[in-house]
Structure 1
Amino acid sequence: MRALALRKPLHLPLIAFLIVLLCFLLYHYNGSLEQADIKSVLKSPSTLQRQELVQVLKKVAMPDRTIILTMVDESWARPGSILDVFLQSFKHGDGTQRFLNHLAVIAMDPKAYEYCISLHHHCIHPNTFVHYFATKIQSTTGPDHSSFSWRRNNVLLEMLELGYNTIFTEADVLWLRSPLSHFNPIQELSISCDSSGNVQSGDYSHDGGIFFLKANGIAFEFLKYWKLVKFLFPKSPDEDSLCATIAQNQDMVAAYGFRVNHIDTTYFGGFCQQNKDMLMEASTIHANCCEDLTNKVHDLRSVLDDWIQFRKNVSGSGKMIMGRPWKCLGRKFT
């Protein structure tokens, strides 16, 4: 009852004010985000596009209406690319190959789609989200993080609207074991936050490369709020991160009743953690702290090779450690 009492005033005068303000921004805005992206907030897919999307989601959905989702552009989906290593990790993981049946890959441009369908059965054509992907954001290091997060969040809102729980995974994540046991099916969000700063002060700057979002009204309303915040503060890098948004907006998290399950980075690890023992416990490993795309692919392949060798040695000592992702982190990995 208290949460409802808090929510009511937020959804009347405040939302009315924000709608008026958004209309003003849409007319006058000249900021860093592409104009096509801004106008897309008020657009929705056509009936045909929605039907095509629903058909794919029905094929990949688990019995509880959970889907696994990732997004790639041309730079991440080509021979010898991130997408290659990503899909290979499912095939070599411990009990993860079955998840390929539940994975939908959203291609952000036609070339990415052409390559995706040569590797995977469930690829979503960019025309399905043309209202988000009309402007290319490709770079030599992969999708620009700010624009990518903006478009990803719009896609997530559509998944929630369609009633699908979503496990969103970056494509530069290795799936070594099933992550399902770490997700709380009751809470709206399960996420690992890499705190590269002060944990006690809530300095969560990086999402762990994978998170679970529950499809319910609370999650839907909170993501809509996040979208409004991004309009009001388009240049704030913190708002590109779910972890940073949650840490810095605790009052709104409480007001919406948005429950968060924080998962230890032991289980959703990454290059930033510099933990050589991750092969023993990690479900996923994210190639964060690595901007150069060539280095990222190299080190992901190297870690995947270590994982394959580790699985072969499990019947023996099982004490093999993960080699250093030295191209991404240099020789400082300890």
Structure 2
Amino acid sequence: MRGLAFRNSLHLPLAAFLILLLCFLLYHYNGRPLQQTYTTVVPNSPSSLRRQELVQVLKKVAMSDRTIILTMVDESWASPGSVLDIFLESFKYGEDTQMFLNHLLVIAMDTKAYQHCISLHHHCIHPNTFANYFATKTQSTTSPDHSSFSWRRNNVLLEMLGLGYNTIFTEADVLWLRNPLSHFDPIHELSISCDSSDNGQTGHYFHDGGLFFLKANAIAFEFLKYWKLFKVLYPKSLDRSSLCATITQNQDVVEAYGFRVNHIKETYFGGFCQQTKNTLREAYTIHANCCDDLTSKVQDLRSVLDDWIQFRKNVSGTDKMIMRRPGKCLGWKFT
């Protein structure tokens, strides 16, 4: 008994020391930018060469504050006349958005998507760079914001943050109408717009607004690792693929990590579901949400972009111009 008591007396100070050490490390690294965190790879191996290529591209694409704009597409979203075409075109017609094409990195999830991407844009990443994530990719003719896509995106975001790059992630079915940078607070780890809906079966649900900003620091990196682990622990959870749902339904975890969230007004980063008569005057981006059919998505994105182009030309009559409803996607459901 005396021996057991002696061992217990040693364990308590050791546990206290470890807790203090952990607190010190969290305090010391709180908010600090990440440095490269990857394990060493064999020089001149395929993985090493792909990593070197990615690093070189990121250096070219990054803004002065090491921020990149990132999107991901597969073959169904990157073909002639597809979502990617309209997405890139929106930067050319937006207010102060054309410059962002120099900072936009498009990650192709398959070879056909890559071939089409390089015919349109200077900064496209071959799927081999992230071969481990895309090897089991299944083709989808609907919105890519499904579970498998979200978790491939999560892995890519972890790599970007691990390399020390702030990341603006945008879905490819988002039209960039105006420069959104003023809404991204560099103090917060995450700046995001969330919209909510009630599907009648599972109750209130929060959806990502199609675009968000992630700050590259240790807090954001660790929280994304938690998000990845959350999928494994709760594979049937409805919020496992939505960042908005995750932070909303897990406030205790968000606070424990010190993960600071800047919630952006929905009307600024809006979507088809959130359209109002002031959308063209207020929105910085418009997301083709509430639309699962790819053909309908492309047609309505084209219609909205055409309305935006006319809106900008019709300077004297902008107060009277209203964006047409996304008739193909929403149809009679639109109100």
Output the TM-score relative to the length of structure 2: 0.84
Q: Which runs of 4+ in 1 moved over 6 A?
A: 42-45
SS of the equivalent of 1:265 reads: coil
In structure 2, how many angstroms separate the alpha carbons of the residues matched to 1:215 and 1:6? 25
The aligned counterpart of 2:7 is: none
Structure 1: where are the runs of 5+ without partners? 12-41
In structure 2, how many angstroms separate the alpha carbons of the residues matched to 1:169 and 1:254? 25
Listed one character per residue, the Cα deviations across residues 256-281 of structure 1 (whole Å, up to 9, x for unaligned) are: 00000000111000011132321001
The aligned counterpart of 2:184 is: 183
> Structure 1 vs Structure 2: percent identity of aligned residues?
80
The aligned counterpart of 2:31 is: none
The aligned counterpart of 2:151 is: 150
In structure 2, how many angstroms separate the alpha carbons of the residues matched to 1:294 and 1:171? 15
Alignment of 1:13-52 (within 5 A): 46-52=47-53
Alignment of 1:119-134 (within 5 A): 119-134=120-135
In the TM superposition, residue 167 of structure 1 has moved relative to its aligned partner by 0.2
In the TM superposition, residue 211 of structure 1 has moved relative to its aligned partner by 0.1
In the TM superposition, residue 46 of structure 1 has moved relative to its aligned partner by 2.3
Structure 2: where are the runs of 5+ without partners? 1-18, 26-38
In the TM superposition, residue 181 of structure 1 has moved relative to its aligned partner by 0.6
Larger of the two Rg values belongs to structure: 2
Return the letter of the residue paired with 1:209: G
Q: Which moved more, 1:184-193 or 1:265-274?
A: 265-274
SS of the equivalent of 1:57 reads: helix
In the TM superposition, residue 50 of structure 1 has moved relative to its aligned partner by 1.2
| Alignment coverage as a number of residue pairs | 297
User: For the Cα contact (< 8 Å) 1:43–1:131, is it kept in 2?
Assistant: no
In the TM superposition, residue 319 of structure 1 has moved relative to its aligned partner by 2.8
1:206 aligns with 2:202: no
In structure 2, how many angstroms separate the alpha carbons of the residues matched to 1:6 and 1:126? 44
User: For the Cα contact (< 8 Å) 1:184–1:190, is it kept in 2?
Assistant: yes
Listed one character per residue, the Cα deviations across residues 12-44 of structure 1 (whole Å, up to 9, x for unaligned) are: xxxxxxxxxxxxxxxxxxxxxxxxxxxxxx999
Structure 1 residues 117 and 257: CA distance shift in structure 2, 3 A: same
User: For the Cα contact (< 8 Å) 1:267–1:283, is it kept in 2?
Assistant: yes
Output the TM-score relative to the length of structure 1: 0.84
SS of the equivalent of 1:195 reads: strand
The aligned counterpart of 2:329 is: 328
User: For the Cα contact (< 8 Å) 1:85–1:300, is it kept in 2?
Assistant: yes
The aligned counterpart of 1:96 is: 97
Structure 1 residues 154 and 228: CA distance shift in structure 2, 3 A: same
Root-mean-square deviation over aligned CA pairs: 2.3
Alignment of 1:265-276 (within 5 A): 265-276=266-277
SS of the equivalent of 1:135 reads: coil
In structure 1, how many angstroms separate the alpha carbons of the residues matched to 2:67 and 2:78? 24
Structure 1 residues 184 and 123: CA distance shift in structure 2, 3 A: same
The aligned counterpart of 2:60 is: 59
The aligned counterpart of 2:256 is: 255
